[in-house]
Structure 1
């Protein structure tokens, strides 16, 4: 049973999430503050985390950033704020997804399950190599010119997809559908943010991942 850390200072939200997650087969551990969430995650690392953006001490963005210093577990951010700037801030801090309150229980569970699947990988998947990059899909390890690089699950999936189709132009819609699912096929802002983070880590010189403006990306 997957264990999910839920951090929110609104008791009714926490109660609702505990019920929804329990019915979906998840075990939950809760925290009311950012510091408490970080402590609980450190003592017994969960399989995923759901974080509210507005907390009484440090905000969810900072919690996400500090978790990303040592874990690749899927992180979903919850907030009543739905503007694009806040979404980008959360994604840049390492969040895998962003859910706006009020949310549908089925949607939240579906997004959490999708994030866990992306993080899981498959033992049958190969090691992909190209242009100084090595992606061990089963071990979820990426090396750039021999040195190991930390990627979030979303960044890992994007790189894996580009490598499997290297040389081929993948449209924004194709990448969004492959990595996030059909419900995200028009969310190009999310894709741009994650691609920017990925490039910074594996292609700072801009020689591996090419952009066709307004169309998509390809691994050269």
Structure 2
């Protein structure tokens, strides 16, 4: 699946460090914060692939954080908490949580839950494949092949590439990408798009100065097209 970006919103230093070290061993990029406000700011600025949310936070209740998250992002959220009563579970799911995991749990258990949530999220992608030159994009299986070799692509990068592939040959504006790929997440800017395009270029073996597939048009946007040669 590649290196997924995970934001951990957890007030316990011990648990936060455990999650960070354990998930990194399982090839996740982890950013941990101790307060709900910090978590909201991080999701807005970095658009992670998954959020792990504790409910017992020092600055606000985790359910309020979840409610605010859902006004700004569709990022998959796994509630990770010691609260095991039905009232909290039902309310969290009603507010938009994708899963509810009761502490204590192992890193392997959490990894399986994360992968399951991402699979369900991926099922919403349309079952259409695209081929541009020697590049193949398969939304249904969430895979990208270049010259027959599978590339490791993060989920957000994949959504960006798949959207550009769907509109191959057309210059797509950054505002459109923010709306369609980032779901108009609060705080997402053109710079965020540029960073993800830079990561995509690196995976495709090209640069902005020497593009092959991704061609930027200054002041307009970016176009995905077949290499000239």
Give the equivalent residue in structure 2 for 1:201. 203
Give the equivalent residue in structure 2 for 1:144. 146
Residue 170 of structure 1 and its aligned partner are, at CA, apart by 0.5
Secondary structure class of the residue paired with 1:33:
helix
Secondary structure class of the residue paired with 1:139:
coil
Aligned pair count reads: 165
TM-score, normalised on structure 2?
A: 0.55
Secondary structure class of the residue paired with 1:32:
helix
**Residues in 2 aligned to 1:33 and 1:183: alpha-carbon distance in whole angstroms:** 25
Contact map agreement 1:123 1:138 (CA 8 A) in 2: yes
Give the equivalent residue in structure 2 for 1:64. none
**Residues in 2 aligned to 1:185 and 1:80: alpha-carbon distance in whole angstroms:** 13
TM-score, normalised on structure 1?
A: 0.57
Contact map agreement 1:174 1:185 (CA 8 A) in 2: no
Secondary structure class of the residue paired with 1:182:
coil
The runs of 5 or more residues in structure 1 that have no matched partner are 15-30, 55-76
**Residues in 2 aligned to 1:122 and 1:80: alpha-carbon distance in whole angstroms:** 26
Give the equivalent residue in structure 2 for 1:10. 11
User: What does residue range 150-169 of structure 1 map to in structure 2 within 5 Å?
Assistant: 150-169=152-171
Higher RCO by CA contacts (8 Å cutoff, separation 6 or greater): 2
Contact map agreement 2:156 2:181 (CA 8 A) in 1: yes
**Cα offsets for 1:94-145 (capped at 9, x unmatched):** x4489xx988432324566445679514475122111111111111111111
**Residues in 1 aligned to 2:190 and 2:125: alpha-carbon distance in whole angstroms:** 31
